[in-house]
Structure 1
Amino acid sequence: MNLKIHTKSRAYELQTEDRTSLLLAGLSEGLDLPYACATGTCGTCKAKLISGNVTDNWANAPGKAKLNADAGEVLLCQCSALADGEFEILVPDFVYRTDPGTILPRRLNGVVTSWRTLVSDVALWEVELSEVCEFNSGQFALISFSGVDGYRAYSMVDFDRSTRKLTFLTKKTPEGKLTNALFSENPVGRTVQVVAPLGRAIFSPGLKKNILCIAGGSGIAGIMSILARATQEGYFEQYKGYVFFGVRTMQDAFFLEELSAFKLASDKGLEIVIGLSAVAATDEDKAQYPSLSFDFGMIHEIAAKHMEGKYKNVQVYLAGPAPSVEASIRQLVITAKLDPKLIAYDKFS
């Protein structure tokens, strides 16, 4: 099927397959289309359908609240070509081709090979892929479980440039049908479909800047991948790293041993602060993790206090619940007066 994409910069023509989302069709051909969550929740990938018929894969996608349906607006991530023919869409943005060497997303098959609960509502799990997957630290994948409609976005926790095994972190939420099912029944052995890699909150050693990472809860997943890459490359021997990880209590905290290992490997180049918003850390807690620092309060406020006077030559990575990310952005832009272009994050909700 022929797909023509009109943009503010130029028009592009490409071929797409049945059941492939219009977003994936463009991204896999090297078009840097606008998107954020890629799952239908944010509305960033809205476009206008000029001609042709499409299948809407999620009728109740929250991102549709930002669409003008009467004007023919659709979500690229939720629509796919319906049948053979010509399709035309209008993307109200400048769209260019990605740089040479960019890792383009593709669809892969996989099987869940492990599932381990870290705390009561957070689990670490692995997927064995049918083919090798390449990705950059800080990126995410879309996962679709057999028997469950739609895709969910999960950041890769570790970093391996070329691998057949991806590791993810999942937080159980009261309203989450999929997460409740995963936590109630061990998903090991279940088949999945993976679309990867996606995301623009990418870290590369060529950045040549100090890095500031602020994460809440399971948002630490992508930050762990960034820290893994930076540690492998000895990045903190030359540049500073500041990591602020927020949870409610010590009972909700995880990855503290792994974070301690990153700190020890990087010595004075890396500072890691665990922020507790409900109950402060005890002396026993601090003694158990002597290489980490602890503070009490909301994580964006803790980060602001510790980062005062340290924003020179810094790149920021944010992750976590939307209210936490938005609070961090406001503090960084309004109070710290940081250029928004220096703040990277992927919006999952």
Structure 2
Amino acid sequence: MKIQVNARNRAYHFQAHDKEQMLFAGLRSGIDLPYECSTGTCGTCKARLIDGKIYDPWPEAPGHKYCKNELNEFLMCQCVARADCTVEVGNFVYTMDPGACLPRSFFGVIRATRMLTPDVMHLEIELDNPQNFDAGQFVVMEAPGVTGFRGYSMVNFERDAKKLEFVVKKKPGGGLSQWLFDSGSIAGRPVDLCGPLGHATFFPNVKKNILCIAGGSGIAGIISILARASQEQYFNEYRGYVFFGVRTAKDSFFLDELEGFVRQFPERLQVTVVFSEEDAPASLKQAHPDLLFGTGFVHDVAAQAMDGKYQNIRAYLAGPTPVVDTALRTLIVKGKLTTDNIRYDKFS
């Protein structure tokens, strides 16, 4: 189907495959259409149907509350074209930079899982074809019999990756997370994926100190960023500050991996693990002598530690929406960072 998107600055044309969501078709064509979660929750990809016919496979998606039926508004991340369509978005839209990793649909098989905490799982998926992505990006995943996509950031980083690694948080009522946690052995199960997606990407040519603030499973994309930076020996020249927030010590994970990065660059990389509901146990501090620990909300601990250190900073935020929103305000108000130096993707 032929799709025309009228943006505030110009019109774009692209082809959508049968049963392909309009958002993914546009992104695959190198057009940077507006989106955040890309899973039907945030409403950022809202558009208005001017002409044509569309089908919505998930009319119960939470993001529909941002759409007005009387204006023919719909979510591009959910709807597929049933005929040639003309749609309108209220944003300025531009083409992606040359060399960008364009998203595509692909297939994977779950090969391994392990529990990091009682409600957090590490997931390893073998791909049908090698996949390129940038550090900090995510994909959306769909499992047979489960309605809707769910977004997960890659933990690993490598070019032509033959496998992807994820961190999954169990959420009450979450269709895909319940399928992953409650279906017994899921090794060998197939999943559909689309990506890479996301704007919270790290490139070594940024040539700035980096600040990462993550809550819970949001640490996944930050691990990918640290992996890319370490491969490039980035912290031989620039500094890195990482703040990882969870509720209690029992909710923490990836501490060995984080400490491993610090040990590679002890002079320039600093990682602080923050517990909101307790002080760090002495035994945990002894087990991880190269990590720092704090108590409180992760954005407050980060603000105190970063006082006077915001010069030449690029910040990356990840985690639940409240964590991202409060950290964003802190960086703008206290850190005086401009929005072009803050990168984040919200998983609503």
TM-score scaled by length of structure 1: 0.97
Q: 1:106 — aligned with what?
A: 104
| Cα deviation, residue 236, structure 1 | 0.5
Report the Cα offset of residue 68 of structure 1: 1.7
* Alignment correspondent of 1:186: 185
1:170-185 pair list within 5 angstroms: 170-184=168-182, 185=184
Give the aligned partner of residue 307 of structure 1: 306
**CA distance in structure 2 between the aligned counterparts of 1:13 and 1:319, rounded to whole angstroms:** 33
Give 1:197 deviation, angstroms: 0.5
Equivalent pairs counted in the alignment come to: 347
Matches within 5 A, 1:247-286: 247-286=246-285
Q: Is the 8 A contact 2:130 2:160 kept in 1?
A: yes
Residue identity in the other structure for 2:292:
S
Distance in 2 separating the partners of 1:5 and 1:122: 39
Query: Equivalent residue for 1:122?
Result: 120
- 1:150 is displaced (CA, Å) by 1.2
**Who is 2:287 aligned against?**
288
Name which of 157, 160, 174 aligns with 1:159: 157
Letter in 1 for 2:112: S
C-alpha offsets along residues 245-270 of structure 1, whole Å, 9 cap, x if unaligned?
Answer: 01111111100000010000112110
Deviations 1:130-165 (A, max 9, x none): 111100000000111112111100000010121120
Secondary structure of 1:317's match? Answer: strand
**In 2: Cα distance, 1:278 partner to 1:13 partner:** 51
Q: Structure 2: which 5+ residue stretches go unaligned?
A: none
Root-mean-square deviation (Å): 1.0
Is contact 2:126-2:163 (8 Å) kept?
yes
In 1, Cα distance between equivalents of 2:148 and 2:310 = 40
Aligned sequence identity (%)? 48
For the residues of structure 2 that align with 1:11 and 1:174, how far apart are their CA atoms? 41
d(CA) in 2 for partners of 1:294 and 1:141?
Answer: 31
Which position in structure 1 is the counterpart of 2:84? 86
- Counterpart of 1:96 (choices 84, 94, 97) is 94
Please name the residue that 1:37 is paired with.
37
Q: 1:63 offset after TM fit, Å? A: 1.4
Correspondence for 1:22: 22
> Match of 1:334, as an amino acid?
V
Q: Is the counterpart of residue 48 in structure 1 residue 59 in structure 2?
A: no
Q: Give the CA deviation at 1:86.
A: 2.1
Letter in 1 for 2:139: A
Retained in 1: the 8 A contact 2:147–2:175?
no
Note the C-alpha offset of 1:336.
2.3
Note if contact 2:3-2:15 (Cα within 8 Å) is conserved in structure 1.
yes
Deviations 1:260-302 (A, max 9, x none): 1000011211000000111111222111100000111110100
Residue 268 of structure 1 aligns to a residue in which SS? Answer: coil
User: Retained in 2: the 8 A contact 1:273–1:294?
Assistant: yes
Once the two structures are overlaid, the 10-residue window that deviates more, 173-182 or 130-139, is 173-182
Q: CA deviation at 1:239?
A: 0.4
Counterpart in the other structure of 1:147: 145
Aligned-partner residue type, residue 238 of structure 1: E
Give SS of 1:274's match.
strand
CA contact (8 A) 1:104 1:197 kept: yes
TM-score by length of 2: 0.98
- Quick one: distance in 2 between partners of 1:341 and 1:207? 12
Alignment map for 1:205-224 (pairs within 5 Å): 205-224=204-223
* Contact kept? 1:256, 1:289, Cα under 8 Å: yes
After the TM superposition, which parts of structure 1 deviate over 2 Å for at least 4 consecutive aligned residues?
A: none
CA–CA separation in structure 2 for the residues paired with 1:4 and 1:325:
33
Q: Secondary structure at the match of 2:328?
A: helix
- On the 8 A contact 1:146/1:190 being kept in 2, the answer is no
